[in-house]
A and B are shown apart, each in its own frame.
Chain A
């Protein structure tokens, strides 16, 4: 087994001096490579906060977060940026793409930041666009893509850097159910083909069904953590 995330006693309190809000409360989390995990819970339960902590976008007040052997709570802000570049793939709810760059350039950007060679970038881009089924839209600007297509490109970008884990905060929130299903298909496929670890937050029951593990947060605490079988009739390409 290959541990990707190992977090202990993580707590995050907002506004500690005025009206404290304990967004994440003494959470333990353990994720192995290749997991496909959903983070669920009511609005305000702390899903986004937890994902931000794991992704190194925010620092916990207490606890340790070890991502593939590195305790990211010990990193400086600058080191964290570099850590994110090399280890975390992000898919946000919307507006993931730089509007002035084509789909391809958006995906290339992260590899250019990593200093990957031109040759390798080209190869990786070809593969990724095939995997997300958008070879024909490779040079299209984000504004010319549908919401679902934009999210697929965002997934491709998240994977382009070959991260340890892809964190997706409500990636389907702005999509219709067909596009949402399609995006989940692609994520599931990449999870299989590249053995990529995914953790995504969602409110959508049909998306939750696709996960193999479901972690439920309430008031910043993990209340259930269950394994399940993907029951949906996925159309793997």
Chain B
């Protein structure tokens, strides 16, 4: 008990040094927690944008569909299948789709387009399609009329306006002839030019009818409550659904996006590494200072009969208190900071911003307020501080009182 007291008093022996060390530690925690929270936030934001774009976090297809994306590789829509997917933990909603290519024409213009049959309600839950409507209205929940949503670019190229008629021609299921006339009930805008020039949505039953593929789907698009453990969730789903289906994560469907994130994360890790190095030197510096200042005193304690392990205990308690208090204060202060950054995300400009805007993303760096970030950063700094405090302890362990007390 009195050892604890001695350690506590030692903490306050040199107020300015204590404050310097404490602030070094707590700035360290703040910096690393905010950087990490920004990193995570940015990638989260990016991924959420990417997947809510079109792909969703996970898709289920008939096995082999991704390599050859044709209707003949579709599968039958079954309530039991849908249920076993929805029942999987982490899955929020499942949107069925039927997708294929068609020729769209209006008067004498014809363009290729991707016809996507969607269930209006579940599709909207995942890709927020109704938010992208710039003219007209979104489909009603169980739309059965022959209506179509055109992407803005496609509508422009076909010279089509709201309530005009678009004619679709394609090859249906098993080589059937597909043709139909649809009223343009809405126009949607996509940030990505690729999507904006190609997409045409039909209510799912209308699309199935068009393709003469009653009850046929090409994919289920899944939304998840978190992008954590995506891979293992996908694997579990694959096991549940069996070999007949293929379960793919967005990372498999959009490998170039994943690559981009990996590269970015790599450079972030380097930044974190440099940060930790600085933190480490800061903490070590104060330990060096402290040992220089207390050499005589510690030597004297050994001389008068204080066992080295007791001195080491005192030093250990001191460093734990130091680092712990620093970390806690740091965590407490970084929480409001990151919270603020989450609510008021940093906006950036330049080429990056251009690219983001082009894809319909907000050019912002939102912060993540995942508690694990604070806990891990706190623990990292704590472990670092404790590892560094081995230095003074080793010094004491090797200390010879006579030498230590020499001027």
Contacts and interface: CB of A to CB of B under 8 A. Distances in A.
| A joins B in a complex | yes
Contact of B297 (A81, A86, A99): A99
A90 interface: yes
Given A57-B401, A58-B402, A100-B13, A82 B305 contact: yes
A52 B302 CA distance: 13
B296 to A, nearest CB: 6
B363 to A, nearest CB: 54
B321 to A, nearest CB: 14
Contacts, number: 58
Contacts of B10: 100
Interface string B267-307: 00000000000000000000000000000110011111111
**Size bin of chain A's contact surface:** 20 to 34
B11 to A, nearest CB: 9
B304 A90 contact: yes
A99 B304 CA distance: 16
Contacts of B300: 90, 92, 95-96
Contacts of A218: none
A78 B401 CA distance: 12
Nearest to A78: B307
A98 interface: yes
B401 A100 contact: no
A37 interface: no
B12 interface: yes
A113 B308 CA distance: 12
Contact of B308 (A57, A81, A110, A157): A81
Nearest to A91: B304
A84 B297 contact: no
B19 to A, nearest CB: 16
Given A57-B402, A100-B10, A101-B6, A84 B310 contact: no
B304 A98 contact: no
Interface string A146-169: 000000000001000100000000
Interface string B251-279: 00000000000000000000000000000
B305 A100 contact: no
Contact of A101 (B9, B306, B310, B402): B9
Given A92-B300, A100-B10, A113 B305 contact: yes
Contacts of B12: 100
A101 B12 CA distance: 11
Contact of A84 (B13, B303, B308, B402): B303
A85 B402 contact: no
**Size bin of chain B's contact surface:** 20 to 34
Interface string A90-125: 101001101111000000111011000000000000
A52 B307 contact: no
Interface in B5-19: 6, 9-10, 12-13
Given A57-B402, A96-B300, A81 B13 contact: no
B305 A95 contact: no
A95 B9 contact: no
B297 A98 contact: yes
B372 interface: no
B305 A86 contact: yes
B297 A110 contact: no
Contacts of A99: 13, 297
A128 to B, nearest CB: 15
A187 to B, nearest CB: 17
A58 B406 CA distance: 13
Contacts of B401: 57
B304 A100 contact: no
B305 A85 contact: yes
Contacts of B2: 108-109, 112
B307 A82 contact: yes
A82 B12 CA distance: 29
A100 B9 contact: yes
Contacts of B307: 78, 81-82, 113
A113 B303 contact: no
Given A52-B402, A92-B405, A81 B296 contact: no
Nearest to A89: B304
Given A95-B297, A96-B300, A100-B12, A81 B402 contact: no
A80 to B, nearest CB: 9
Contacts of A83: 305
Contacts of B302: 81
B9 A84 contact: no
B306 A85 contact: yes
A61 to B, nearest CB: 15
Given A57-B401, A100-B12, A84 B6 contact: no
A84 B10 CA distance: 24
Contacts of A78: 307-308
A110 B304 CA distance: 8
A161 to B, nearest CB: 7
Interface centre among B6, B305, B308, B402 (most CB of A within 10 A): B305
A96 B301 CA distance: 9
A112 B12 CA distance: 21
A57 B305 contact: no
A7 B137 CA distance: 106
Contacts of B405: 92
A168 B220 CA distance: 88
A72 to B, nearest CB: 13
Given A88-B305, A92-B303, A96-B300, 10 more contacts: A57-B402, A81-B302, A81-B306, A85-B305, A85-B306, A86-B305, A90-B304, A110-B305, A113-B306, A161-B305
For the complex of A and B, the 5 pairs showing the least CB-CB separation, nearest first, are A85-B305, A100-B9, A84-B305, A100-B13, A112-B2
